[in-house]
Structure 1
Amino acid sequence: MSHIEAEGINVRYVSSKLGKIERFYRLISLSLSVIRKNPSAHIFIVYFPFCSLVSLFCRRSIILDFRTASVSPNKLARGLRDLFSTFESLFFQRVSVISEGLARMLRIKKRKVFILPLGADVISSQCKKFDYPRLFYIGTFGNRNLHHVIKGLSLAIDKRPELASCISFDIVGFGYGGEESSLKELAGKLGLNKIVRFHGRLFHNEAKGFFDKSNIGISYVPITSYYDHQPPTKTYEYILSGIPVIATATSENSRLVSSVNGVLCQDTPESFANALLECVDRFPDYDSEVIRSTLADATWENIAAKFKRQLVNGR
């Protein structure tokens, strides 16, 4: 994969060709080196296993950030990983988390926690046309049950056959366990080859065209205890791009999605089909600018400004 380049950001890499132990050693060493060369900077570490070693070897105050808890389907593995995350948080004076629910899940002490919510950039500023449905999904295929979405699409077309001639579904992303092949095979069996199109893995700047033209975003994660308090980034990305979203009714999605900017569904093909038809029926009422306004405070620019105030105030 190409190295990431962004204005104002200095990205340092550790070679993936090294062995795991050497790669980890270099990561810790590089982190300590960067910290020591920037004595006046605020230090912010997004959690990775054994990141507490950085805190142990550095006398500076460091903020530990959790963007997610473990999402392993294996209950024992998930519990052990979350327990270790909780243990490592003890080595940091301040901890930021993506949501209050995640803080409770990881049992982080309230006195050291502050909320640094998820957000997104406005990827598309175009006003969307709500004529015929153009569905769009971007993200990983792993542990997302996207076969429910494809089956639900088929059920919706069965209920309204006229959709078959005008609906489209663009999928951008990848999986590690043969998920794409399975999804393509399912789409073929259901006669959706001309409707469902796979585009592989793309960076968001490469996928901007899909954000510009689509008018229904799909934010589908299983409704489980380990996804419930972790808002999907794509929910923010679609809404801030003026796209109404069909999202599974996790606690966090339920907080973000309303009749103005989308439709909630359960994690079943039948519920997705009903949500899709409801979303299409609302097309005359949708307005991209109104949709964006529902999450206007969630742009990274606004979140960064709030985070800066929290750092200055020591909160």
Structure 2
Amino acid sequence: MSQKILLVTKNQFGYQTDYYKYACYLKNLYDITYFSFDNSKKKIHEEKIKSVYICANTSYLGRALLFYYKLIRFLQTNKVDLIIIKSFDYCFFLKLLFPKKKFILDLRSSAISLNQIKRLYHNLLIRLNTKFFSNITIISEGLAQKLHLKNYCVVPLGAEIISKKNKQFDELKLMYIGTLDNRDVDKTVKGVKLFLSKEHNVETFEYHIFGKGKEFEECRLKNTIEECNLRKKVFFHGYKRHEEIVEYFDKCNVGVSYVPITFFYDNQPPTKTFEYLLSGMACIATGTSENKKIIVPENGILCADSAENFARSLEKLYKNRNRYHSDMIRSTVINAQWDKIVNNILLRVIKKII
């Protein structure tokens, strides 16, 4: 009989890439149960993976208490060999309540609120959680250093090869996928305007933006597209699931990994950087510490987080466009595929515990 692993995260099944991939690649080796909120999104079903959903249609405090209560009841009434928890506030109480159970505390992010007091508070809670767990995994070395951790294993971010099509780089077709909240994506649109005003010989140019954000973020992006008179070149598609935009991973040849360069984003590896590169696209990425580890001359260009620098990076990429080759680009991040991360890193951690 297979050993039982419980994956605990507040993100509904299928809507957090890391845990969705953990479940999919571990399901043939272990009995996997996924414990999460029901965030009223379309249910995704995977063979051999059981889902336990907790209603999220209450107040913030009500949701938190209900999640805790249901999780405690589940652990009291079900045999579980290992619990992998995506860190959340006060989850250390689980270790106090079930001291004999085996846990992995998994850290995917530090606090990224724009409010400094909130960041300090939540980072303190993260560090408090780590004091109670002997098995800790974390997304990057940089984040481990930031949180002053000593005993941990890095389980990095990964991606899948969404597009196997080799790209042609004679014309530019850009793509951004991800959240719009606090990302200043409108600056990339302003950068496109500056680039096109200088490069008059660029006849074919497209920029496709996928994602959602707060209403004012989406309005600002739409207004910037209008103000820059780029309605025929820059297209905001809103939120789409990956399977809905595979055709754009096939047709686009430049991925935009634009994250503001701040100390609270600096150690967060962007999923999108790996997704673009594994799909054979060149990548324009802001120069965070994590992007600097990924972007090399063979696969893209680093830029500062301003419209002017984004435009200069586009200009440089366009002038050197014939140097890029999809097979070479993919080879620079070949070990960042989820099957390799789960089978070569996470599985090794699990086998040491159970």
Asked if 1:260 is matched to 2:298, the reply is: yes
Q: 1:142 aligns with which of 157, 160, 181?
A: 181
Question: How far did residue 118 of structure 1 move?
Answer: 0.7
Post-superposition Cα deviations, 1:267-306, rounded to whole Å, max 9, x if no partner, equal: 1111111111222223212111111111111111000012
Contact 2:102 2:353 in 1 (8 A): no
Partner amino acid for 1:6? E
Structure 1 residues 167 and 37: alpha-carbon distance in aligned structure 2, compared to 1, 3 A threshold:
farther
Once the two structures are overlaid, the 10-residue window that deviates more, 127-136 or 276-285, is 276-285
Asked if 1:244 is matched to 2:282, the reply is: yes
Post-superposition Cα deviations, 1:33-92, rounded to whole Å, max 9, x if no partner, equal: 544566453221111222222222223121111111011112222111111111121121
Q: Report what 1:193 is aligned to.
A: 231
Contact 2:82 2:103 in 1 (8 A): yes
Q: Report what 1:129 is aligned to.
A: 168
Between the aligned partners of 2:131 and 2:237, the Cα distance in structure 1 is 43
Between the aligned partners of 1:188 and 1:148, the Cα distance in structure 2 is 13
Q: 1:76 aligns with which of 110, 117, 133?
A: 117
Between the aligned partners of 1:38 and 1:283, the Cα distance in structure 2 is 56
* Count of matched residue pairs: 312
Asked if 1:287 is matched to 2:328, the reply is: no
SS in 1 for 2:197: helix
Question: How far did residue 314 of structure 1 move?
Answer: 4.8
> Normalising by structure 2, what TM-score?
0.84
Question: How far did residue 126 of structure 1 move?
Answer: 1.4
Structure 1 residues 34 and 298: alpha-carbon distance in aligned structure 2, compared to 1, 3 A threshold:
farther
Q: 1:168 aligns with which of 193, 206, 214?
A: 206
Q: Report what 2:340 is aligned to.
A: 302
Contact 2:173 2:205 in 1 (8 A): yes
SS in 1 for 2:330: helix
Higher RCO, 1 vs 2 (CA within 8 Å, ≥6 residues apart)? 1
Q: Report what 1:153 is aligned to.
A: 192
Q: Report what 2:136 is aligned to.
A: 95
Between the aligned partners of 1:148 and 1:133, the Cα distance in structure 2 is 18
Give the gaps of 5 or more residues in structure 1: none
Structure 1 residues 46 and 239: alpha-carbon distance in aligned structure 2, compared to 1, 3 A threshold:
same
Contact 1:260 1:291 in 2 (8 A): yes
Partner amino acid for 1:82? N
Contact 1:32 1:58 in 2 (8 A): no
Contact 2:81 2:102 in 1 (8 A): no
Output aligned runs, 1:53-64, within 5 Å: 53-59=93-99, 60-64=101-105
Post-superposition Cα deviations, 1:118-150, rounded to whole Å, max 9, x if no partner, equal: 111111111112221000000111111112101
Between the aligned partners of 2:224 and 2:70, the Cα distance in structure 1 is 46
Between the aligned partners of 2:222 and 2:62, the Cα distance in structure 1 is 39
SS in 2 for 1:118: coil
Identity %: 37
Post-superposition Cα deviations, 1:176-224, rounded to whole Å, max 9, x if no partner, equal: 1421111111111111111111111111111211111110000000111
Q: Report what 2:221 is aligned to.
A: 183
Q: Report what 2:350 is aligned to.
A: 311
Once the two structures are overlaid, the 10-residue window that deviates more, 305-314 or 228-237, is 305-314
Between the aligned partners of 2:325 and 2:131, the Cα distance in structure 1 is 46
Structure 1 residues 180 and 87: alpha-carbon distance in aligned structure 2, compared to 1, 3 A threshold:
same
Give the gaps of 5 or more residues in structure 2: 1-40
